[in-house]
Amino acid sequence: MDTLSTTTSSSSTVTTFDLAQVPLREVNSALHAPGLSGEFLITGPAGAHNVAVGVNAPVKITVSGHVGYYAAGMNQQAEILVEGNAGTGVAENMMSGTVVVTGNASQSAAATAHGGLLVVHGDASARCGISLKGADVVVGGNVGHNSAFMAQAGRMVVRGNAGHGLGDSLYEARLYVRGEVASLGADCVAKEMRPEHLEELAGLLKAAGYDDDPASYTRYGSARSLYHFHSDNVSAY
């Protein structure tokens, strides 16, 4: 088959797709094949959008280079590594599996993600974790404004600083920030770090490859004053 190459080592077989030669539609179609298994390498992405979207198999995929919008969107089961930066909506609506970005991520990383783990080793832009619904997000650097806006469930860890409006209209997601927070959004407040939170945070950091002291973080969560409409809180809606 002239659209891909396969290399075999003593331990595994890696199938390589070169996006400079193979249309992205063909690559994604191959990654949706029934009974998919093995390891895959995607080269030459050159900022292409929708790389490795909708994968639903326990495979390992490495993307060698920068990607555009919605890379690894709707991921299920797969372990996807992006060796570079990612555009808007990386791991959007992820259900399970792991997505790792070695560089920076643009806005809306892990938007509406229901499960799995997104790790961004660099910075993440605005609205990281917007409407998060159960996934875990660990950012090695900073996050932009309105991150975790309307986050309903899941956990977000920020090893750097957070922009304005963190956790605005937050529901039950838990946020951990090591650096400074420019401002908190409506109904988001600092909360006590109890032993169970220190243990939870240590596990999230370990899963992302970090060994920070959990005690150096501040936990943020919902004050729960906006759960039900009340005229005294009308200015916050």
Mean pLDDT (whole number) for 155-173: 97
Q: How far apart are the first and last CA of the chain?
A: 57
**Is residue 12 included in any domain, yes or no?**
no
Mean pLDDT (whole number) for 208-236: 82
Nearest one of 35, 71, 30, 33 to 53, comparing CA atoms = 71
**Is residue 26 included in any domain, yes or no?**
no
Mean pLDDT (whole number) for 168-182: 97
What pLDDT, on a 0 to 100 scale, did the predictor assign at position 73?
98
| Cα 181 from chain centroid (whole Å) | 20
Q: Output the average pLDDT for the chain.
A: 93
For residue 232, what pLDDT band results from cuts at 50, 70 and 90?
low
The SS3 of residue 31 is: coil
What pLDDT, on a 0 to 100 scale, did the predictor assign at position 202?
98
For residue 94, what pLDDT band results from cuts at 50, 70 and 90?
very high
- Domain holding 132: CATH number? 2.160.20.60
> How far is it, in rounded angstroms, from Cα 89 to Cα 79?
17
Whether 145 contacts 128, CB under 8 Å: no
Whether 129 contacts 150, CB under 8 Å: no
Residue 3 has pLDDT above 60, yes or no: no
**Is residue 59 included in any domain, yes or no?**
yes
Residue 231 has pLDDT above 90, yes or no: no
DSSP character at residue 97: S
Torsion sign (Cα): 14, 15, 19, 25: negative
Residue 2 has pLDDT above 80, yes or no: no
What pLDDT, on a 0 to 100 scale, did the predictor assign at position 201?
98
User: For 7-35, how does the pLDDT look when each residue is reduced to its tens digit (9 = 90+)?
Assistant: 544 456 899 999 999 999 999 999 999 99
Domain that holds residue 175: 50-226
CA 103-79-59 angle, to 5 degrees, is 140
**Is residue 90 included in any domain, yes or no?**
yes
For residue 1, what pLDDT band results from cuts at 50, 70 and 90?
very low
User: For 112-122, how does the pLDDT look when each residue is reduced to its tens digit (9 = 90+)?
Assistant: 999 999 999 99
Report how many domains make up the chain: 1
Strand pairing of 39-43 and 60-64? parallel
**Is residue 93 included in any domain, yes or no?**
yes
Whether 29 contacts 49, CB under 8 Å: no
DSSP helix, strand, coil percent of the chain (3-state; round to 5): 15, 30, 60
User: For 110-155, how does the pLDDT look when each residue is reduced to its tens digit (9 = 90+)?
Assistant: 999 999 999 999 999 999 999 999 999 999 999 999 999 999 999 9
What pLDDT, on a 0 to 100 scale, did the predictor assign at position 236?
56
**Is residue 13 included in any domain, yes or no?**
no
**Is residue 72 included in any domain, yes or no?**
yes
- Structure-model confidence comparison of residues 206 and 7, the more confident one: 206
Amino acid at 150: M
CA distances in angstroms from 88 to 4, 30, 107, 184, 194, listed in the order given: 28, 24, 5, 23, 34
Alpha helices, DSSP H, located in 110-176 = none
What pLDDT, on a 0 to 100 scale, did the predictor assign at position 218?
98
**Is residue 124 included in any domain, yes or no?**
yes
What pLDDT, on a 0 to 100 scale, did the predictor assign at position 10?
41
Cβ neighbours of residue 54 closer than 8 Å, sequence gap 6 or more: 28, 31, 32, 73, 74, 75
Mean pLDDT (whole number) for 32-60: 97
> How far is it, in rounded angstroms, from Cα 98 to Cα 77?
7
